[in-house]
Amino acid sequence: MSLLKQISPNLFKMSIRKLSDYEGFKKLADKSKNIVTLTGAGISAESGIPTFRGEGGLWRTYRASSLATPQAFLANPALVWEFYHYRRTVAFNAQPNAAHLALAKYEKICNEEGRRLTVITQNVDGLHRKAGSEKVIEIHGALQKVRCTKCKIVYENLNDPICEALRGRGDPAAQDKDLPIIDKKDLPKCKHCQGLLRPHIVWFGENLDHEVLTQARDLVESCDLCLVIGTSSVVYPAAMFAPLVAERGQPVAEFNLNDEPADETFQFHFPGKCATTLPKALALTV
């Protein structure tokens, strides 16, 4: 056993994982032909998007996860739409931060050099596309889109409010206000068949779109570099993507607030705010 390992096993592991090795990462990234980035709530939190996870994940007195279900929508579609009207308004008014912009800029560099960078995101806020990223797979859906509960069509709707009945509604602090209950007939309606619309979001208890999941899985299984950005890697199926890359012997770089890597097999780890660490790692000014 080497003297270094005897003195500090953790230090030895850190040297192998190349923690915060910006120069080494940049050289590797510039040689990679097919880069996949997995992004989660952490990257959008730096743009002011609430995460709705953990102990603080409340909207009014409701746990957000209890509203993001088919059962909640069936029981009280007006309440669920108030929650999503609030989320849409926040997302529509939010701006991409330096991490979003760096990914979009590096994607353009890759395109010019005959390489590929694809964003697979758990986020539904649309900030990657707003930043200019073109190859984006939104595995949990998007707040900018709606789905008809009757004819099942999916289309983009950027109206804010999405219907007149939701104007001025959704304020998280408004639970004590004496607001009238919104009638179901006044909720958002499909432009094609006038059926009741719902957010195009994959709710708890629902399956991910098979085609979207297959597309993401194919990219993960063929990439030669994976970036994990702003996610704790605990939400499936995204949680299994990066370990699959590492199992193939391909490098994984993690960017999040944690001091320690989520997985010992990840080659790079950059702790801190990804709006700072990611542009630095890609050597980009945004």
Distance CA 114, CA 108 (A): 10
Collect all residues with Cβ–Cβ distance below 8 Å to 127 and sequence separation of at least 6.
43, 44, 47, 49, 91, 94, 95, 96, 97, 100
- pLDDT the model gives residue 16: 44
Distance CA 81, CA 41 (A): 21
DSSP symbols for 88-157: HHHHHH----HHHHHHHHHHHHHHHTT-EEEEEES--S-HHHHHT--SEEETTEEEEEEEETTT--EEE-
**Model confidence pLDDT, tens digit, residues 245-278:** 999 999 999 999 887 777 788 999 999 999 999 9
For the cut 50, the answer to whether the pLDDT of residue 5 exceeds it is no
Q: What is the mean pLDDT of residues 201-224?
A: 95
Residue whose tokens read 């509604």: 169
Among 135, 51, 115, 35, smallest CA distance to 87 is for 51
Summarize the annotated binding site for NAD(+) as residue ranges.
Answer: 40-59, 122-125, 230-232, 256-258, 274
- pLDDT the model gives residue 18: 63
For the cut 60, the answer to whether the pLDDT of residue 8 exceeds it is no
Interaxial angle between packed helices 274-281 and 98-112, expressed in degrees from 0 to 180 and rounded to the nearest 10:
20
Q: Percent helix, strand and coil across the chain, each rounded to 5?
A: 40, 20, 40
Is 166:197 a contact under the CB 8 Å cutoff?
no
Structural domains for the chain: 18-49+96-140+207-286 (3.40.50.1220), 50-93+142-201 (3.30.1600.10)
DSSP letter for 158, please. Answer: -
Q: For the whole model, what pTM was predicted?
A: 0.90
Return the structure tokens found at 201. 């979001």
Summarize the annotated binding site for substrate as residue ranges.
Answer: 84, 87
Summarize the annotated binding site for Zn(2+) as residue ranges.
Answer: 148, 151, 190, 193
For the cut 80, the answer to whether the pLDDT of residue 52 exceeds it is no
Would you please indicate which residues are annotated as catalytic (active-site) residues? Answer: 140
For the cut 90, the answer to whether the pLDDT of residue 28 exceeds it is yes
Distance CA 262, CA 284 (A): 26
On average, the pLDDT of the chain sits at 89
Distance CA 221, CA 110 (A): 19
For the cut 60, the answer to whether the pLDDT of residue 46 exceeds it is yes
Q: When comparing pLDDT for 63 and 275, which is higher?
A: 275
Residue whose tokens read 């094609």: 192
Summarize the annotated binding site as residue ranges.
Answer: 40-59, 84, 87, 122-125, 148, 151, 190, 193, 230-232, 256-258, 274
